[in-house]
Amino acid sequence: MTSPTQITVSQLSRLVGLPDAPVLVDVCIDEDFADDPRLLPTAFRHPYQDIAALAPKLAGQRVVVICQKGRKLSQGAAAVLRNCGIAAESLEGGVFGWRDAELPMVPASALPVHDPEGRTVWVTRHRPKIDRISCPWLIRRFVDRNAQFLFVEPSEVQTVAEKFNATPFDVEDVFWSHRGDQCTFDTMIREFALETEPMKHLATIIRGADTNRHDLAPESAGLMAASLGLSRMYRDDLAQLDAGMALYDAFYRWVRDASNEGHDWPAATTGA
């Protein structure tokens, strides 16, 4: 029976990727992490000995602490956080339990360098439409919940990347961009090892909208229409990104949980 201070792998897997997902803290020791240098989606590493130092940043948030097997390190670190007033649980079975359930894990080697605040920083062209909103959504929901995004003039993306130690995306001749007939979102789910069935379904919809190939999925035309509408509603790119996060949250929940559901009118009635 699961402890009241633990969360199961299946329970956590239903929360990952959602806007109210818990903060995931990986306290694996270096030797254990070196054996399998991958992270649960959005997890960040922190030494268990110094876990109390995170308390101010975690105030008011739900936290799940993860170690290799879900035993002493994660349970002890979660207990320390609870003593600091944080709603913290440990993951039952730890990294091994998640891995054995064949759930997605992000290769640490795929992550860009972090800034002094511990965030990844990305830069792209201003006035985003589809890829430049869907990719930040993917990053914040599955890679780095605190990622920072810089929107600049197209001609300045590369120089801003160099000067501000940011990772360029969705521009020509960079790693994180279109490849053949695939869009940048496709590249990201592949490189971050997030190719689950729901994510591949979402990628097809995004690809159809982003490359004007609405034959790929019937939802692509609707996504393009909503994206163009958002771009007209917001002059500020970051405000548009905030609004777009809700749009992709809805599309993700649809591909994950409701893509087989229909809607009829008039509503069905029973009885004579």
Q: pLDDT (tens digit, 9 = 90+) per residue, 160-194?
A: 999 999 999 999 999 999 999 999 999 999 999 99
User: Model-level pTM?
Assistant: 0.96
In a shared domain, residues 133 and 250: yes
Q: Classify residue 48: in a domain, yes or no.
A: yes
Return the CATH number at 50. Answer: 3.40.250.10
Q: Does residue 240 carry a pLDDT above 90?
A: yes
- Number of compact structural domains in the chain: 2
Cα gap 10→269, rounded to integer Å: 36
Q: Does residue 232 carry a pLDDT above 80?
A: yes
Neighbours of 182 (CB within 10 A): 16
pLDDT for the residue 3: 83
Strands 38-39 and 106-107: antiparallel
Q: Which residues pair with 7 in a beta bridge?
A: 91
In a shared domain, residues 10 and 95: yes
Residue 207 φ/ψ, nearest 5 degrees: -60, -45
Q: Does residue 269 carry a pLDDT above 70?
A: no
pLDDT-derived band of residue 1, with 50, 70 and 90 as boundaries? low
Q: Classify residue 45: in a domain, yes or no.
A: yes
Q: What's the mean pLDDT in 210-226?
A: 97
Q: Identify the domain containing residue 115 by its residue range.
A: 111-258
Q: Compute the C-alpha angle 200/173/139, nearest 5°.
A: 40
